Each structure stands twice: as structure tokens, then as C-alpha cells.
Amino acid sequence: MAVITEHPLRYQLANELHARPFPSMKAPGRAAYLALKPAERAAARDRDADRAHLIALLDRFGAQHPQPGATHYFGQIGKHFLKWESHTEFVTYTILGEGVAERPFDAATFGLFPEDWLAAAPGTRVTSALIRVEVVEGDEGIIDKVSEWFVPESLAISRVLEDELVVASDFRIDPVGHMRFAIFARPQTGARRIGRVLQRLCEIETYKAMSMLGLAKARDLSGRLGTLDRRLTDLVEGMQDDATKPAETLHALLAVSAELESVAARASFRFGATGAYETIVNQRIEILREDRFQGRQTFAEFMMRRFDPAMRTVKSTEYRLQALTDRAVRASDLLRTRVDVERSAENKALLEAMNQRAELQLRLQQTVEGLSVVAISYYALNLCIYLLTPLAKAVHLDKGWLAAGLTLPVVAAVWWMVRQIRKKLH
């Protein structure tokens, strides 16, 4: 039987689909979540530094290390479990524990992240969250609890996965510095389903926070784009003025175009990532299969009212930047056309002037040639008269008649000679 040659990446790519399994979470339980991202150039960060930071945490609990080059880790640290993931721009840590504290959203679970370890993190906190998982038979008492835990104005609560769970949050940062999520699970709900919902909530929060970075970028660019828009408008309007020097306008227009290209190059990654993160947020909410809980707003409605306008602002700024870049390109093309037309007119005028000068030179040359024929004929005639005067006296021919007889032949001979010389020169 012939052996089929395997593609070198076949197993790696197939296993990639299973590289990030969902955590298993029993109810009641609790979780602490942390997402870290370098403030600048996160996509090009040192991944080895992220892994070293993870190992430093694992060593404090004597836990097993991840495989070299791993982008995912799940293991036990003390009485808890740790899930670590490395993404394009950030890394996430999730600590899972059994049971709930008497005081809701007690930050003791987050205390498993040592303060000195947090201070040495190779990045900044994008978001962090505390998740509380309780078991409930019915809906009684849920509204009372979430009304106490969350800000009623911002509360989003819904039934998910055919009413097997109820999830709630207000997406506000509490006094300790964390987001809060509550999960109410039915007694028959399995640990894997609870774990999947928990991870979805963490992903919704993380990608929402990452998306909002695009809004900050859009707001930062708003004033600069306004200035560039005014400069570009003034330059385009100035192109209609005949007194404007096209070369100076073109130089200023190229400066605006270069600045726009620079802005677009720096903002393109953030705007592109924002669009991708927005899609993930909406997909994660859709996967929850929400149903309304006692007439309250769902997660999808919360995002539609609070999150979607921010994303539309980002898209509007991205479109505005692209529109300004296109306007600058069109204006540059128009100005170049105008410069080319004016330059063609100048070249035409220059050629006409050169033709006129050449014609004058030709006329002058012809005049000089005519004068040359006369002058040479005059000297040649005198020489001939001097030479033939003795003969004329011998035949009793008057000198005047001799000159008259020689004039036409001499002039004709000189003219013919000059013409032959000019032909050879040309």
C-alpha cells in the first residue's frame, strides 16, 4: 500500500480548531477574569514576555508549565483552575473556583493575582471582571439580587440557551475596578454549558473593550481631520483663482496628501481591528440565543443602544478619512492637469517664438548672402578689369564698356559659387 505524503501543517492546522477548549464550571461558583494589552504596538509585542509572565504566576503555585510556543493553557493552581489565552493584541487570564462568597462579588478570587505580579505585567489592563454563578430553581429573587448588585439604569438581563441560564450585567466598573457578571443556572444545567456561557460573557466584555479603542482613536483624529478638511477645501477653492500659482498649490496639496496618508497608515490597523472585534461581540451575543427576562433589556438591546453608536462613529471617521484621501488625490490630479495644460501652452509659445527667431535668422542669412554676392562680385569685377584692361587697350575698347561687359558674367559666377557652397553646408 502506497504511503501518502502528509502536508507538513496538516496536524497543526487540524488541532488549531481544538486548541482553545471551553472551561468547565460547576454552580455555584465564581471566576475572576483579566485581559492585558501593551499600550502601544500590541500586535508586535514580545510573546515570550507574555509566556514568562504566565510562568511566573504558575511557579508561585508549583503548577505545570505550558508547552513551548503555546497560545493556550489550562491547569490547576492551588484550589482553583487557571485558563490562559494569547490573542493577536492581548492575553487573558481566567481563574475559576467553586462556591460563592457570602458578600456578592467579593474580590478575594482576584487576589489570586499577586499585586507584585500584576505590577510586573508586560502590558496594561484592558478589562477585568468578577463573575458570580448561582443555582436557582425559578425566577424568584433574581430581580431583587441584580437590582442590588447592578445599576438599574444600565442593567441588561436575559434568559439564554432556552432558559437554562439567566445572565446579567450593567457593564460598569465597580469601586474595586472590575466589571461584574452574574450567571443564574438551573439545577439541571451542566458544568460545560455554564463554562461556555461564562467564556462568552468574558469574550463579549473583552472584545467590547477592544472595540472601544477604535472610538478613542476616532475622537483623537476628529480635530486633525477637521483641520485637514479645511486646508484641502481652501486649496481646491484657490485652484479656481487665476492668480494662484499652480506650483505652490501643488506643493501644499502634496503636503496635505502626505499627512492624510500618514494618518491613514497609523489608523488603518485600529479601525480594521475595531470592525473585527465588533463582529465578534455581536456573534457572541447571538450565540447566547437570548430571550427577554421580565421585560428588561437584553444584552443585544444594551449593545444596540450603547455600543452600536460608538461603532458607527468609528465607521464614520474611517469613511471620512478615506473620503478626504480620495479628495486629495482627485484635487492633485486636477491640479497636475492644469499644470500640464499651462506647461503645454508655455511650450507652444516657446516653440512659436523659436520658429519666429529661426525665420528671422533665415531672412538675415539670405540678406547676408545677397550682400556677400554683391561684395564679392564687386571685388571680383575689379580684379577682372585690372587683368583685362591691357587687352582692352590693345583692341581699343573703352574701360567702361569692359566693366559693363564683365558685370553680368562675374555676378552670375559669384552667385553660382555661393549657392554651391550653401548646398554643401546643408
The reported pLDDT for the residue numbered 358 is: 77
The reported pLDDT for the residue numbered 426 is: 60
Contact yes or no for 269/43 (Cβ under 8 A): yes
pLDDT tens figures, 376-422: 777 776 777 777 777 767 776 776 776 677 677 777 777 777 777 76
Q: What is the mean pLDDT of residues 314-327?
A: 92
Q: Cα–Cα distance between 127 and 293 in angstroms, integer?
A: 27
Torsion angles phi and psi, residue 421, rounded to 5: -65, -40
Tell me which of 92-96, 132-136, 348-352 is least confident. 348-352
3-class state of residue 246 by DSSP: helix
- State the Cα angle at 197 between 193 and 200, rounded to 5°: 140
The continuous run of DSSP H or E covering 34 comes out as strand 29-37
Residues 6+ positions from 97 with CB-CB distance below 8 Å: 29, 30, 31, 79, 80, 81, 109
**Distance in Å from the first CA to the final CA of the chain:** 88
Q: Cα–Cα distance between 168 and 210 in angstroms, integer?
A: 21
The reported pLDDT for the residue numbered 2 is: 63
Contact yes or no for 334/238 (Cβ under 8 A): no
3-class state of residue 84 by DSSP: strand
Phi-psi region of 231 (alpha: psi -120 to 50; beta: other; left: phi over 0): alpha
Chain-centre distance for alpha carbon 1: 53
> What confidence tier does 6 reach under pLDDT thresholds 50, 70, 90?
confident
CA-wise closest residue to 211 among 50, 35, 374: 35
Residue 104 CB neighbours (<10 A): 15
pLDDT tens figures, 273-320: 999 999 999 999 999 999 999 999 999 999 999 999 999 999 999 999
pLDDT tens figures, 156-182: 999 999 999 999 999 999 999 999 999
